[in-house]
Amino acid sequence: MYINYEYYRVFYYAAKCGNLTKAAALLQNSQPNLTRAIKTLEAELGCTLFSRTNRGLILTPEGEALYRHIRVAFAEIEAGEAAVTQSRTLERGSVFLAASEGALRCLLLPVLREFRARHPGVHLRISNHSTPQAVAAGIKYLVYSIFGAMLGLLGIFFFSNYLGTVTFVPGGVETAASAPSGLLLITFLVIIGFGTKAGMFPMHGWLPTAHPVAPAPASAVLSGVITKAGVLAVLRVIYYLVGADVLRGTWVQKGFMTLTLITVFMGSMLAYREPLIKKRLAYSTVSQVSYVLFGLACMVPTAFEGAMLHVVAHSVIKDALFLCAGAFIHQTGKTYVRELRGIGKEMPITTWCWTIASLGLIGIPPTGGFVSKWELATGSLQTGLAGFDVIGPVILIVSALLTAAYLLPVTINGFFPGSDYDYSGLTNKEGGKLMTVPMILLAIGVVVTGVFAQPLINAIAVAAASVL
């Protein structure tokens, strides 16, 4: 059950004062708002907490039982406030620090010695241990990364021996007529290996595990930059080493397209079902990066252009979304999407940045996401592969609808929380400039990459002409 602590605050002061007028004065609120909050709490608990009399409010047996617990909770809160007040003087209290081994030894220890000498009454607690979840995520990423790198490295050995070179040449170094036996199988395994870095099915499992335990800036780098390294490797293998002419129309192309479309749909569906906001964005990355891989798999100029455009658009969009999610979590402590109801009233700048980035990821004009997805959909119709020229656009459209379904609820419920939302407890929780300015710049970038996409399209078209 979601707990609105403001309702319990109202209940506590109403029970303590025995009068709504006095409670409203202490809380600096209006009596109707307090009455509404108490009625809402009673409805949620399914019982009556107060009996209204001419002498004021009298607790019912259920109210007495609740008050005994709430009174203890508020006593602890008041004790905590007192402790914090004392700690401001640095005479007493405790400080908890978490730092890496390198930062601790090289930077913090000399400073902490001086601090300890000046403030002997302050207790220092220092930790340089990762959480079990972070360790598990790191191990999982290591396993996936090693396996993917192994497939890629074995493929490079094969290319070196049988192709005679691993030099990257636009259009590839091989022709269909002279291709050695086993080239197609090795190429497919190499694509799977490098696709691990990009989060492509069936090697996508590390992404949803790593993102929730990583800080928001690290998640932004993972999603916006690191996954693109896998995309670059796949691009190099297909277009600059083996050659699209060798792979076009083969089972490798069809298998590669099938895996990318599975990943696009599966990632979108898992994101839609995921309640944790950062994990939802992680599954979204799984889906969106496979848009790029699908464009590469089509092996036609328009789809190639769409893939490269989506590399740029997705990097900007997803960086913005992860920074927004990190701001929500940092400022409110809320990690679930359902908890962000009314967040647009508390953090309007962050929520507007989230909204703009969301529209970009859905593919709404005039954002960069619209331009890239239009090119991808158009290119998929030009593949000439029976079935894929229909299935491709359909899955892209379904994925766009699912993207809207898992991103826009934050905006809708954030700005329009409903008539039953308690506005009395609203506070401005917007972060400082160091937090908001990068989000604003990235949100602007989401639109700029769409409005001024033509110069980038022209540059990509030159590269596409050299490899196709």
CATH number assigned to the domain comprising residue 121: 3.40.190.10
CATH of the domain at 16: 1.10.10.10
* 372 and 462 share one domain: yes
* 43 and 164 share one domain: no
Residue with tokens 């798999």: 297
- How do 56-59 and 93-98 pair as beta strands? unpaired
**Distance (Å, rounded) from C-alpha 142 to C-alpha 156?**
21
**Distance (Å, rounded) from C-alpha 374 to C-alpha 388?**
16
Write out the H or E segment, with its range, that includes residue 56. strand 56-59
- Residue 38 · residue 14 · CB < 8 Å: yes
Residue 47 has a CB neighbour count (10 Å cut-off) of: 14
* 159 and 103 share one domain: no
Structure tokens, 468: 């196709």
Query: Which structural domain, as residue segments, surrounds residue 104?
Result: 93-127
* 339 and 415 share one domain: yes
- Domain final residue pick, 71, 101, 127: 127
* 353 and 260 share one domain: yes
* 117 and 203 share one domain: no
Residue with tokens 């506590």: 12
Helices (H), 333-387: 343-346, 348-362, 368-380
pLDDT number for residue 214: 63
Write out the H or E segment, with its range, that includes residue 357. helix 348-362
**Distance (Å, rounded) from C-alpha 80 to C-alpha 87?**
10
pLDDT number for residue 213: 62
* 200 and 235 share one domain: yes
Task: Estimate to the nearest angstrom the gap between the alpha carbon of 352 and the chain centroid.
Answer: 16
* 297 and 374 share one domain: yes
CA dihedral 286, 298, 376, 241 (to 10 degrees): 70
* 201 and 295 share one domain: yes
Taking 60 as the threshold, does the pLDDT of residue 86 lie above it?
A: no
- Residue 328 · residue 347 · CB < 8 Å: yes
How many domains in the chain?
Answer: 3
**Distance (Å, rounded) from C-alpha 47 to C-alpha 119?**
51
Q: What's the pLDDT band for 83 if we cut at 50, 70, 90?
A: low
**Distance (Å, rounded) from C-alpha 191 to C-alpha 169?**
18
pLDDT number for residue 350: 93
pLDDT number for residue 176: 54
81-85, 121-125, 449-453: least confidently modelled range: 81-85
For range 364-393, the mean pLDDT = 90
**Distance (Å, rounded) from C-alpha 17 to C-alpha 139?**
55
**Distance (Å, rounded) from C-alpha 267 to C-alpha 113?**
49
Q: With H, G, I as helix, E, B as strand and everything else as coil, classify residue 214.
A: coil
Q: Which regions of 272-358 does DSSP assign to beta strands (E)?
A: none
**Distance (Å, rounded) from C-alpha 269 to C-alpha 274?**
9
Q: Residue 335: what residue type? A: T
* 179 and 205 share one domain: yes
- Residue 42 · residue 48 · CB < 8 Å: yes
Q: With H, G, I as helix, E, B as strand and everything else as coil, classify residue 53.
A: strand
- Tens of pLDDT, residues 36-81: 888 888 888 888 888 888 777 888 888 888 888 888 887 777 776 6
* 78 and 225 share one domain: no
- Domain final residue pick, 103, 127, 151: 127
Give the best-scoring range by mean pLDDT among 49-63, 222-236, 440-454.
Answer: 440-454
Let me know the angle formed at the C-alpha of 345 by 343 and 347, rounded to the nearest 5 degrees: 60
Query: For the chain, percent helix, then strand, then coil, each to nearest 5?
Result: 75, 5, 20
- Tens of pLDDT, residues 284-330: 988 988 999 999 999 999 999 999 999 999 989 998 998 999 889 88
- Residue 332 · residue 313 · CB < 8 Å: no
- Residue 320 · residue 262 · CB < 8 Å: no
For range 17-34, the mean pLDDT = 83
- Tens of pLDDT, residues 404-436: 999 999 999 999 988 887 777 778 888 888 889
- Residue 428 · residue 346 · CB < 8 Å: yes
CA nearest to 189, candidates 151, 162, 221: 151
* 156 and 106 share one domain: no
- Residue 124 · residue 104 · CB < 8 Å: no
High-pLDDT (> 90) share of the chain, %: 25
Partners of residue 53 on adjacent β-strands: 56
- Residue 404 · residue 362 · CB < 8 Å: yes
- Residue 196 · residue 160 · CB < 8 Å: no
Backbone torsion region of residue 121, taken as left when φ is above 0, otherwise alpha when ψ lies between -120 and 50, otherwise beta: alpha
Backbone torsion region of residue 90, taken as left when φ is above 0, otherwise alpha when ψ lies between -120 and 50, otherwise beta: left
